[in-house]
Each structure stands twice: as C-alpha cells, then as structure tokens.
Amino acid sequence: MWKWLHPYAKADRAYQLCNTLLPYFAVITVVCMIVGWVWGLAYAPADYQQKDSYRIIFIHVPSAILSMGAYSSMAIAAIVALVWQLRNAELAVIAIAPVGACVTAIALITGAAWGKPMWGAWWVWDARLTSELILLFLYLGVLSLYHAFEDKKAAGRAASILAIVGVINLPIIHFSVEWWNTLHQGASITKFNTNAIDPSMFWPLMLNIVAFAAFVGTVTLMRLKNEILQREKHRPWVRQLLNRG
Amino acid sequence: MIRQHSYWQLFSAVCKKDLQLAFRQRAEIVNPLLFFLIVITLFPLAIGPEPGLLARIAPGIIWVAALLSTMLGLDKLFRDDYHDGSLEQLIASSYPLPLTVLAKVVAHWIITGLPLVLMTPLFALLLNLDTNALIATVLTLLLGTPLLSFIGAIGAGLTVGLQKGGILMSLLVLPLYIPVLIFATSAIETSTMSLDYSGQLAILGAMLVVAILSAPIAISSALKVSVS
C-alpha cells in the first residue's frame, strides 16, 4: 500500500496523475450523462401510478447515492491524510467537500420537487430526508472549518479530523433518525436478483448513477489540480508549468 | 521522559485545577443554568400556558435547552488554557494527552452538566411533568450530558485557535448531537406512556462508553492541530 502510494505524496506526481485520469472521467461523464438522461427522460416508459413525474428519479437517486459516496471518499482521504501525513490527501478532502455538498443539495432539492406531487408537501420530517439534511450540515461544517483557518496546513488537518468524526457519527445519525420516523420508501435496487424496479427503468438509472459518479470524479480532479497548484505555487515545477502554458 | 506522578495523580490534578478555577468564578457555573431556565420560561410564553400541551412538549424543550446551554460553556473549555500557554505545556509534557483531555472534559461536565441534572426537578415542575417522566428526564440527562461534553469538546478543540470560534463550533457540533437528542427524548416520551424505556437508556449508555474511549483521542489530535 505504502509503496504504491508513496510516489503520489509528491505534489507534481499527484498533479500528473490527475491529468492522466481527468480525460477518462470526463468522457465517461459526457457519454453516460447524455445517453442516460435522454434514455431516462424521453424513452423509458412512464410509471403506472406516478406517470411522468417519476422521471426525476434519474437525477434524484444518483445524487443521493453520490452524496454518501462522496462523503465516504472524503473520509477515506482524511484517514490517509492523518495516518500517513500526506498533504495531497488533505487537499483531496478539501477538493471533494464542496462537490459533495452540492450533490447533497441537488438530492434534497430534487427530492422536495418530487415530494410535492407525490406526498403533497415539499418537506416532511422523514428519516431519509432528515439524515440527508444532516449530511449537508456535516459537509458545510467541514467547509466552514477549513475556511476559518488562516494557516491552510492546519486547516487541512482540522478538516480531516472533522471528516473522520463525522463518518463515525454518520451511521449512528442515520439509524437513530430511521428509528425515529420513516415515510420514505426503502431502497429499490439493493437486491439485484429480486428487483423492485423494472429493467426498462433500471438500466437508464444505472447509467445515470455511473454518469454522476464520473461527474463527481471529474469535478473533484479539476478542483484537486487547482488546490495543488495553489498550494505549491512557489515550487519550480509550477513556475515551469505556468511559463509553458 | 521522567514521569514523577501516576496517571491518577495527573487526572485528579487537572480535574481539581479546572474545578477550582470554576468555583472561584461562579458566574461560569450559574450563567448556563440561568440561560437554561430562561429558555424554558420562554416556551410557555410563546406557545401558551396550557398544562397538557406543556407536558407533551416538555422533554423536547428540556433537551433542546440542555443542548444550547452546554454549548455556552464549551467555548471556555480550552480557550483560557490556550491563551495563557498551559495548553501547549500539557501537549509538550510526557504524560498522555488523551488522559489530560479526559480529565478536563470530566471537570467540564461537573461544572456544566451536573448542575443541570440536579436542577431538573424544578424545571419539570415548571413544565408540568409527572414523576415517571421526571425520573426518565433525570436519567437521560445523567447519561446524555457527559456525552454532549465529549462530543462538544471535539468541536472546542478544533476551533480553539480561531478568533471567532464560538459560532463555528456550534455549527460543527450541533449536527453531531442529534442522535443523543433523539434517543433521550424518545426515552422520556416512552416513560410518559408508562412503558419500559431501558432500551433507549442502554443505547445512550453505549454511546457514552464509545465517546469516553474514542473522543479523547480525537480531541487531543484536534488540539495538536490548533496549537501547532
């Protein structure tokens, strides 16, 4: 693990890695998102009960999944940053945090828009909605803590600690809220063999999930590149890069 | 690396120092209590004095007021030590920092949490709670307020080096308080229906044990970041 990670502790190697990965993520994002959205929004059959308004699922579910996925990757980066003292991992935490917060906000807003016609209210105090809202608070906490510090080195470490504390608490929050009140339907696509969702809707949904994941990856990589450049702006290799471009 | 004192001596010395400081400045103990009392007074004024309604929402009021009033004291937890440099000495000393932190948090609970628990019968009277619910409230506060101190100390450790850490700390800490709030109020609500609420108490107890074991480590690494 260490041998494999070690080269990327150097900022210029990490920057290069970002550059190599970025086009793949970008291409997957564009292709999957176009195909997934057109398929989901135009060609997938309408639901027998919810008619066309169910189609927001193709944005709502991927963003909800990614809101948690982004938090866990942020926490993994934070653990790497604190255990191996890798500064690039700290930068990754900061690169992911706003992206994750945005995805969480998208999930909440699309959820509200879906809830209005289906449940008759923009917002209900249901378990999943509440824990998603708390997730947003945790993201905002990490972000505001980072920006409160003058010294960006300490800021990255503090944000990492908070991200780890948050990830330990997240399951507790999730289950306590679940126990507290539940109206939201359960997950439909956890068990692949006994699918609660029809294949004609399942595949475009999968495609959209992949697209969202790649999208989060793309934006994170772009932000990480910027963070590295900003942090290392006094280094010769950055100067060289800037002079060349 | 010479350790002249046992760990227990260290623990009790740090604890005693903090308690002494607090008892010399009594406002530190009294103010959060007054705040708690005033918040509780505001609710009947805001929603009307009907006894049935008050008894119905009393657990929620007491617990939200408890969350807010523990937040008041948290800001002071490490700030004075940070400003006079003794925090740096505690970190630099050869004694384990998590133990020192544990002592400070325990002292903080004795100053802010314990008076709250002892005052609860009075608040219960104001809000028209019956004896059953009163016992449940006291028990949940007894298990819950130390938990609040531990979780809050993580936020206090992270923000102690900042100029305006207070409001930021509440933003960081309050979301983490939510499970405590849920289980505590649900225990009280169950007790008003004369049902068994030992399950909720057990979960609160379990969370407290986890917090005692893991929070001091998180707090000490947060303090190291803030001091460096």
- A180–B207 CB contact, under 8 Å: no
Q: Which residues of B touch A162 (CB under 8 A)?
A: 154, 158, 172
Please indicate whether, in this complex, the C-beta atoms of B159 and A134 are within 8 angstroms of each other.
no
* pLDDT confidence of residue A76: 92
Tell me the per-residue pLDDT of A60-91, one tens digit each, with 9 for 90 and over.
888 888 888 899 999 999 998 888 888 888 88
CA distances from B8 to A111, B12, B79, B95, B187 (A): 53, 6, 24, 11, 35
Q: Please calculate the CA angle B86-B92-B93 and round it to the nearest 5 degrees.
A: 90
The domain locations on chain B are: 2-227
The alpha-carbon gap from B145 to the nearest alpha carbon of chain A, in Å, equals 17
Rg (CA), chain B: 18
Low-confidence ranges of chain B (pLDDT < 70): 1-3
What pLDDT is stored for residue B191 in this prediction?
Answer: 85
Q: State the nearest Cα–Cα gap between B59 and chain A, in angstroms.
A: 15
pLDDT at A100 over 90: yes
Is B168 in Cβ contact with A148 (below 8 Å)?
Answer: yes
CA distance B179 to chain A (A): 5
The answer to whether residue B182 neighbours chain A at the CB level (below 8 Å) is yes
Q: Is the CB of residue A130 less than 8 Å from the CB of residue A197?
A: no
Interchain proximity A161–B182, CB inside 8 Å: no
Higher pLDDT, A193 or B103: B103
Distance from CA of B4 to the nearest CA of A (A): 31
Here the ipTM equals: 0.81
- CB-based contact A169 B165, cutoff 8 Å: no
The answer to whether A167 and A96 are in contact (CB under 8 A) is no
pLDDT band with cut points at 50, 70 and 90 for residue A55: confident
Backbone angles phi, psi at A51, to 5 degrees: 55, -140
- Decide if A221 contacts A25 (C-beta within 8 A): yes
Q: How far apart are CA B175 and CA B152, in angstroms?
A: 11
B178, A177: Cβ pair inside 8 Å?
Answer: yes
* Site of tokens 């740090």: B14
Contacts of A179 in chain B (CB under 8 A): 182
Cβ atoms within 10 Å, residue B224 = 15
CA–CA distance from B189 to each of A10, B132, B157 (Å)? Answer: 56, 10, 34
Mean pLDDT in chain B? 87
- Pairwise CB contact (< 8 Å): A144 & B162: no
Q: Taking CB atoms and an 8 Å cut-off, how many pairs form between chains A and B?
A: 66
Whole-number pLDDT of residue A201: 77
> What is the tens place of the pLDDT at every residue in B36-47?
889 888 888 888
For residue B98, list chain A residues with Cβ-Cβ distance below 8 A: none
pTM of the model: 0.84
How close does chain B come to A107, measured CA to CA in Å?
A: 19
Helix or strand holding residue A69 (H, E): helix A57-83
Report which of residues A226 and A187 the model is more confident about.
A226
Identify the pLDDT of residue B129: 81
Distance separating alpha carbons of residues A163 and A146, to the nearest angstrom? 11
The answer to whether B172 faces chain A, any CB pair under 8 Å, is yes
- Choose the closest CB to B182 out of A149, A158, A177: A177
